Amino acid sequence: MSIRKFLAAILCLVASIEAFSLNIKVRLLTEYTPTSVVVSAVSGRYSLICDKQINAVVLEAGTSITLTYFGNRVKVEKGIELLGTFTEVEFIGTKYNNVFSLKTDKLPQERVYEENLSVGVLGNSLLLINTISLEKYVAGVVQSEVYGSSQDVEFFKIQAIASRTYCLANLNRHIRQGYNMCDAVHCQSYKGRCTQADIFRATYETFNDVIVDSLNRLISPAYHSNSGGMTESAGNIWQKDIPYLQSKIDTFSVGARNYEWEKIIPKRLWVNYFVEKYGEKYRTEELYQEAIVNFEQPIRKALWIIESDTIPTKDIRAYFKLRSAFFNVSLQGDNVYLKGKGYGHGVGLSQEGAIEMVRRGYSCEEILQFYFNNVRIIKYTEIIDL
């Protein structure tokens, strides 16, 4: 082996090690704003660090600590013993397989996480941050986002690459709040430790893989459940045109579980929406009355034009909690009947479409290149400015 090849191999190995050790900070229970939580060690061992000082208490499998918001501080109790109140409490794993669980009365059941936890205060609730390696986080996201929708490793690979790319492209999203990502759909759904073997396999078989655009930049890989047979352009949803997120015909999503939907809305509620948003004419003038109960989208329409009014279909979707903004409207007696297609905003990758492409033998890369224009998959260590 030449010196150059030897050095290149060493650099690749070092890069891989650095990538593997990359940790991210994820805010937990974001949507629940907990004021009290029970932290239990599931496996391994945790040292308790309170305001940067090591506490004599060690958390081992089967033992718990209760943390409570208390006057802008964190009250720490072990059983009936009060350990004190602190600004920040950290649970640092000291063995190989460190796993903890969180239980609060706001959760239907406890959630299990890996690696480390820090607890502070944000507003009138506890701020819980899980520090975890990137790959374990990605596996957890894939399980939270798609578990049950497919059992195919190739589809899990697609979701792992998309989730990893999204995370790395948005690492600074919450940096001012002291963490990288939240666990809600604002970032990516993350409900804890991955327990599905095939998801682990897919995550580690795509280790370091990310999606980049034609300028070698990480993309923001939007995805949804079903496109309804036609994806949407990002500019129609988020008012920002993105070259790799353009509308296209998607026959792979046709006929899947979330391809079609129906909803019946009382006519008075439907009319009231247009009156409140666009004026009394929708109640009093026949032209406008007829227009709002007769609407068809043979292809996706971001805007519904009625005379001088421009009505975003995404606003109607949000107000009536529809599955998508891809729908037709007709009148049936005293009700408005909506017949729609798809589930979600429609931008980027259709999960059900991707599952069908996997069934037909398309590769992971071919599927990603179908839903995202002019992209390729590379190792993120190749991106100089990451």
Residue 182 scores a pLDDT above 60: yes
Mean pLDDT of 327-347: 96
How many domains in the chain? 3
Q: Are residues 67 and 114 in the same domain?
A: yes
What pLDDT is attached to residue 371?
97
Query: What burial class does residue 147 get, using C-beta atoms within 10 Å of its C-beta: 0-12 exposed, 13-18 middle, 19+ buried?
Result: middle
Residue 325 tokens, joined = 């903004």
Domain membership of residue 121 as a residue range: 22-182
In a domain, 217, yes or no: yes
Higher pLDDT, 266 or 149: 266
pLDDT value for 95: 87
Residues 355 and 267 in one domain: no
1-15, 99-113, 121-135, 193-207: least confident range:
1-15
| pLDDT tier at 146, thresholds 50, 70, 90 | confident
> If pLDDT is split at 50, 70 and 90, which confidence band does 150 have?
low
What distance in Å separates the CA atoms of residue 135 and residue 200, rounded to the nearest whole number?
Answer: 9
Residue 61 inside a domain? The answer is yes
CATH number for the domain spanning 44: value is 2.60.200
Q: Is the pLDDT assigned to residue 106 strictly greater than 90?
A: no
Give the pLDDT band (50/70/90) at residue 8: very low
Residue pLDDT, tens place only, 291-325: 999 999 999 999 999 999 999 999 999 999 999 99
pLDDT at 380: 87
Task: Say whether pLDDT at 386 is over 70.
Answer: no
Which backbone phi and psi does 53 adopt, to 5 degrees?
Answer: -110, 130
Residues 318 and 298 placed together within one structural domain of the fold: yes
Model pLDDT, residue 328 = 97
Question: Residues 165, 55: one domain?
Answer: yes
Inside any domain, residue 43? yes
Do 307 and 334 share a domain, yes or no? yes
